[in-house]
Amino acid sequence: MNELDQPGLARLRDGWISGGAAFELAPVEWKEAAAASSPDEQERRLLAIAAQALDVALRPAAPKTLKRRPPLPVLALPMLPERLRPPLRAALKYAADARLKTRVATLVASRGFVTHPMDWMPAASDQAAPEVYAPWVDWQAGADGEKHSRREHLTAETWDDFYPAARRIALVDLRRAVPALARTLIETKGARESAEVRLALIELMRFGLGADDVPFLQSLSSDRSGKVREMAGRLLARLGERSYPTDGGTEDPTGELAALIEEGKSGFLRRRTTYAPIKLKSPAQQARRADLFASCYFGDLVARFGKTEPDFIGAWQFGVDDNADRFLVLMVSVSGSDAAVACLADMLVAEGGKLTLLVLQLMLRLDSGRKRLLIRQILNDAQNLHALSLVEGAEAGWLQWGDLANGKTLSALRSAVSGDNDVMKRSAEQYLEAIGFLATAATAEKLIGDVAAAGLPPASPSLSLLRLNAALAGNTTK
């Protein structure tokens, strides 16, 4: 369009917006082209010319402030082959929430692939995503692209070159490999960070926690953030460092808690000491006991009874008061030593039944071997299969066919899918999804055949994760 026509078009436009004849406002050439005997026809002809001018000769003006995001980083693992994207999408579609979707991505990562970003992306706040996704987590969080996410050689000099998620993973690696170096970094770099970031950094001290960390953790007792002081106190407690988490008041909460626990004896021949919660009389007392379990440290409590942590756990009378059992397990999870956590987990798994479920409170502190034991126990008695999806941090793709076939799970699944009880069927479908994450590819394939033979439609969406797992056969990084 001739530049001279543009003001004419603007005048026409203004005229038509407010209404009335606009012919006289048109550019001369347009008026000549649109001339007609009827005024209405003239207006319509002008309208047609203006429409074409707007369509072809004018283009939307882009704002000068258009901003592009930095390129999405390429991850360290290859992208899932195109042929496997449909089963991946089916598994993601079936996964009901973000946690279950992350689990699908974890399975895929365990077989050496990452998802296509249009199929699944971790959220900016996702800390459960497989480590390989850290650059995408940082990208989602709005990293500006001038830096590069990288995991190698985290040092004081390169600290600022790392985005938060990538730095977190590098620090965890460093804590596992050279804990002192990581501690020094946290000590020197953490001091200038906000309380929230400081807390996240101190929390990472749980990896590779050892006696060398005691002085630094003790120095945090004067940190300006209460949450940081509390975290440091818990970590010290795990190391057997006794302390009182109160701010120097006159109360003795650990003594108060100890008073709510009754020492007794059991056995006819070999009398041994037992500990059990005393019976409480009011909801107020129960609330107070809950607070005390949450705020005291396990090491301090057992010291009141003159026992070691494992001995105290061995003497605890589980089953007397379910709430007290749960509080105690939580307390061990937060402030118990590694030995106490291992002892408690082993004991509860060995007990079986509903006590096994208490181990779920210890998940963050358990090694992968104990997590597998827990899962095997859940599968073995098949009473609490719903707990399978509550096992946080479980590894993907290790469950063998024997783990299913030797216990009661397989027969329970067959019976549920072949029966008419819809509730049981739906539950079985959830268990299948959970097993789809845990199973090896061979187990997954065999299980699909087994439940299909029992009556579950082979194309049931509940088999999506198992199908993806089976399709990923031959790709195992672990």
Partner 1 sequence: MQLDLKTIEALAPDQASLGAAAKLTKRSNWPRLEAHEQLPLIWGECQGSGSNPYRVAFDTSDHGYKCTCPSRKFPCKHILALAWIGATAADSFARVDQTPDWVNDWLGRRRKPGQSPTPVAASSEGKSIDEASRPAESAPVEDAAAAERREAAQRKRAEDTRSAVSAALDELDQWIADQLRLGLAGFVDASSERCRRIAARLVDLKATALAGRIDELPARLMALRGEERPDAAIRELGKLVLLAKAWRTAPDDAELKRLVSTSETRDQILANPDAVQVESDWEVLGEKIETRRDGLVSHATWLLDLKSPTPRFAVLLDFFPASAGRRSGAFAPGDRFKARLVFYPSRHPLRALVAEWLGDVAPGSWPSFAPDAAGDPLAAYAAFQDGAPWLSDCPIILPAGAIAQDEKDGTWWQAVNDPHGIALPVAGSVDPTLLGLDLTATAALWNGARLELLASQSNMGRLDLS
**Contacting residues toward partner 1, per CB under 8 A:** 13, 16-22, 40-41, 43-45, 47-52, 54-56, 59-60, 62-63, 65-72, 79, 82, 86, 90, 116-118, 121, 139, 457-461
CB of 193 to partner 1, least distance (A): 27
CB of 140 to partner 1, least distance (A): 8
Burial of 39 (0-12, 13-18, 19+ CB in 10 A): exposed
- Strand bridging mode 272-277 / 261-266: antiparallel
Which value, in Å, is the radius of gyration of the alpha carbons in the chain?
32
Output 67 or 192, the one with its CB closest to partner 1.
67
CB of 455 to partner 1, least distance (A): 9
276 three-class SS: strand
Output 74 or 442, the one with its CB closest to partner 1.
74
CB of 81 to partner 1, least distance (A): 10
Output 333 or 464, the one with its CB closest to partner 1.
464
Output 70 or 264, the one with its CB closest to partner 1.
70
CB of 50 to partner 1, least distance (A): 5
Quick check: 286 and 280 in contact, CB under 8 A? yes
Output 66 or 423, the one with its CB closest to partner 1.
66
Output 62 or 284, the one with its CB closest to partner 1.
62
Q: Helices 39-52 & 5-18, crossing angle to 10 degrees?
A: 120
Output 274 or 418, the one with its CB closest to partner 1.
418
Count Cβ atoms below 10 Å from residue 58 Cβ, excluding itself: 11
CB of 108 to partner 1, least distance (A): 15
Count Cβ atoms below 10 Å from residue 215 Cβ, excluding itself: 10
Q: Spell out the long-range contacts of 417-424 with Cβ–Cβ below 8 A and sequence spacing 24 or more.
A: 417/451, 417/454, 417/455, 417/456, 418/454, 418/455
Quick check: 446 and 463 in contact, CB under 8 A? no
Output 14 or 367, the one with its CB closest to partner 1.
14
Residues 428 and 349: their CA atoms lie apart, in Å, by 23
CB of 168 to partner 1, least distance (A): 21
Determine the distance from the C-alpha atom of residue 317 to the mean position of all C-alpha atoms in its chain, rounded to a whole number: 34
Which alpha helices (H) appear in 390-454, and where do they start and end? Answer: 401-405, 409-418, 422-438, 441-454
CB of 116 to partner 1, least distance (A): 6
Residues 245 and 234: their CA atoms lie apart, in Å, by 9
